[in-house]
Amino acid sequence: MVRIGAFLVGLFFSGWLLISFLFGAAAFVSDPPQATVEHEFHRDPKHVSFSFEGPFGKYDRRQLQRGFQVFKEVCSACHSLKFVAFRDLQQLGYSEAEVKAIAKQWAIKTPDVDPKTGEASTRDPVPADHFPKPFANNVAAAAANNNAIPPDLSLMTKARHHGSAYVYSLLTGFQPQPAELLKEFPDAKTPEGLHYNPYFANLNLAMAPPLTADGQVTYGDGTKPTVDQMAQDVAAFLTWTAEPKLENRHRAGVATVLFLLIATALAYMAYQNIWAEKKKAV
């Protein structure tokens, strides 16, 4: 009796799912989803190659230092790196003295409390501090950026599909709205105060083009600071902030694969040796 009841319950739910599927398919055919401006004009990230891609990829320390320079001189005015400490920069090849100097000379002071009076104050950052936020709070950030709060960039390349390429594409993707877009979607004109970028999810974002001309940053290693180069460098730097242990993972992955291959070969040879006599007997 219990089995019959269970069968009937299962049959009921299976039938209900089938009916729902048929109704959904009929609705899709009779009233297909309408094309939207985002689906029509949103673009996948551009193809760009980085040294850290692939199972054997490694960070280019010189590129990371250039990317940090771009962040410091261009991006840090609006964006934060709340999960990165100044002392982490030693992983990029900076010495301890250089890291101390970078922290002390940082344009934004670190909030503190006066131990004598208990009043709020500020001080120069030290290597143990995380990068300070450029704004006191979200209200101040929104007021300075057309009511948009600039996101923290520490994990940005992990938060976006094809993160490194996404950052590069976004920084180099600002352009006027295509005439065909306005012709097909007259109401999709970019609102005043926003900027058209086909690599952004809804095509319009509050951030103005941050990299506007070649030579905006002067590289100390002699690399020509074109917009394309600066975008690649800061994308690489933000990949490092999100995955500082990427090279360790690559090394561990290669070692694990080699171990598994050797273990598999040994196991197979042991199998052949142990069962050789049994097979002959059979």
Annotated binding site for heme c: 75, 78-79, 207
Residue 69: how many other CB atoms lie within 10 Å: 20
CA within 13 Å, CB half, 16: 6
Residue 4: how many other CB atoms lie within 10 Å: 8
Query: What residue numbers does the annotated binding site cover?
Result: 75, 78-79, 207
